[in-house]
Amino acid sequence: MRDRLIDENTDPARDPVVVFGRRSAFARRNGTLRTVTADALLAPVLAAVVAESGIDRSDIDDVIIGNAVGGGGNVARLAALSAGVPVSVPAQTIDRQCGSGLEAIVLACRLIAAGAGTTFLAGGVDSTSTAPLRAHRLTSLPGAPDFFDRVRFSPPWLGDPDMGAAADNVADRFGITRERQDAFALRSHRRAVRAAETGAFSSEIVPVHTDAGDVVRDQGPRNNLSAALLARFGPAFSVGGSVTAGNSCADADGAVVVLVTDRATAVARGLTGALRFVDALSLGTDPNYLGVAGGEAARTLLQRRGIAATRLKRVEFAEAFAAQVLASLDVMGVPERMVNREGGALALGHPYGASGALLVLRLLNQSRAEAMPGKLSLAALSIAGGLGTAALWEWISTRSPR
């Protein structure tokens, strides 16, 4: 089958492209960002993208932000106004749980392709430290709260396991050993530590002010982690299971924003390269094995476009649990060593609504550093309730139209 990177009967000048992005540092829940609410975490990142990219605030068509555990309302609008975006610019907050940030960027790309605008700020945010407590109203005692830890993602008759238990299910079903999970987790930390030490993250992180000072460094990566230490962790979620605290991510606080525009606008601004949106796909699978849904979505997307996994230059896959990443990579036919070259959520932590957006920011910055037009990359993740999302990208030159 011929690769279908270009959709026929479309205007190349209207190709959606990601051209710029920034993020906050990522911090463990109740860590260095524990006092910063989601809107206060997002606002400086939005402001930095606007200021550093040089766009005119009045040119922004919409602000689209993913958020999973906020208090409702519209954190995108609150943060946008706090960042100095004009009151005339709309904003919306979307929720596909930990896929929300990627979904926000994909939505911006779809809107541009449809001719509904040319300039969008998109990304995600979550503050797990300040997320509101959740409660149902008791029917037996009207008005009294019945607090709960997590929402329901699937009906009980179908199965609705906790995330960690579902990761154990995936490890058992797909034969992902404890040793392989621990090795992947260790690699994630080492890669993130190395990336930080070499300055790979410094230019993308926007300082966030707290009473203790500005937060400018990721809190999660551990340079003292070892295989021996990981081996000491016991099963965290299931008796006899292989998923441990060491090969699982930590809940985190963080925000990511990218600038999405069309090719014509990127060319007019004199940008030398951009991450062109090719296609994206979301699908559902058995909630009991939710961790493999991202791999299924990626495989289906590549098949739809007639592209072999071997064509991919780089892959970013959200690391909620090592087991589900490894199972998904096996489904996709992608070698694990080529994934998450600067570490992932196992090291950095998982600010649910922002994690999918970080995948795109990673691909953007890594592709720009290599500047190899025509190279393909993929962002994918598995989502609560048995959902998976994948997005395909191509690095292009924007010096002149195709």
Q: How far apart are CA 238 and CA 167, in angstroms?
A: 10
Point out the residues that are catalytic: 98, 350
Q: Strand 119-127 relative to strand 252-262: parallel, antiparallel, unpaired? A: antiparallel
The answer as to whether 195 is a domain residue is: no
Tokens (6 digits) for 215: 């937060």
Residue 148 lies in a domain: no
Does some domain include residue 181?
no
What is the spatial distance between Cα 122 and Cα 114, in angstroms, rounded to a whole number? 17
Q: 105 CB contacts (<8 Å, ≥6 apart)?
A: 18, 64, 122, 123, 258, 260, 356, 357, 360, 391
Tokens coding 387: 């959902």
Residue 356 per-residue DSSP state: H
pLDDT digits (tens, 9 = 90+) for 320-373: 999 999 999 999 999 999 999 999 999 999 999 999 999 999 999 999 988 778
Distance CA 122, CA 256 (A): 8
Indicate the SS3 state at residue 155.
coil
In a domain, 158, yes or no: no
pLDDT in tens, 303-319: 999 999 999 999 999 99
Number of domain units in the chain: 1
The single-letter DSSP state of residue 24 is P
Q: Is 339 exposed, middle or buried (0-12, 13-18, 19+ CB in 10 A)?
A: buried
Task: Indicate the Cα dihedral angle 351, 360, 386, 108, nearest 10°.
Answer: 100
C-alpha 99/C-alpha 71 separation (Å) is 18
224 in any annotated domain: no
* 51 touches 259 (CB < 8 A): no
Determine the Cα–Cα distance for residues 97 and 89; give it in Å rounded to an integer: 25
Residue 45 lies in a domain: yes
Within a domain: 104: yes
Asked, for residue 159, whether it belongs to a domain, the answer is no
What are the pLDDT tens digits along the chain (402 aa)?
Answer: 457 676 655 677 889 999 999 999 999 999 999 999 999 999 999 999 999 999 999 999 999 999 999 888 999 999 999 999 999 999 999 999 999 999 999 999 999 999 999 999 999 999 999 999 888 888 888 778 888 888 889 999 999 999 999 999 999 999 999 999 999 999 999 999 999 999 999 999 999 999 999 999 999 999 999 999 999 999 999 999 999 999 999 999 999 999 999 999 998 888 778 999 999 999 999 999 999 999 999 999 999 999 999 999 999 999 999 999 999 999 999 999 999 999 999 999 999 999 999 999 999 999 998 877 889 999 999 999 999 999 999 999 876 544
The kind and range of the H/E element at 369 are helix 352-370
Range of the domain at 118: 13-130+248-396
Cα–Cα dist 351/200, whole Å:
20
Residue 324 amino acid letter: Q
Q: Where are the alpha helices (DSSP H) in 83-198?
A: 100-113, 163-174, 178-197
Would you state the pLDDT for residue 383?
A: 96
Report the length, in residues, of the chain: 402
**124 forms bridges with which residues in the sheet?**
66, 256
* 196 DSSP 8-state letter: H
pLDDT digit string (tens) for 258-312? 999 999 999 888 877 899 999 999 999 999 999 999 999 999 999 999 999 999 9
Domain of residue 389, CATH code: 3.40.47.10
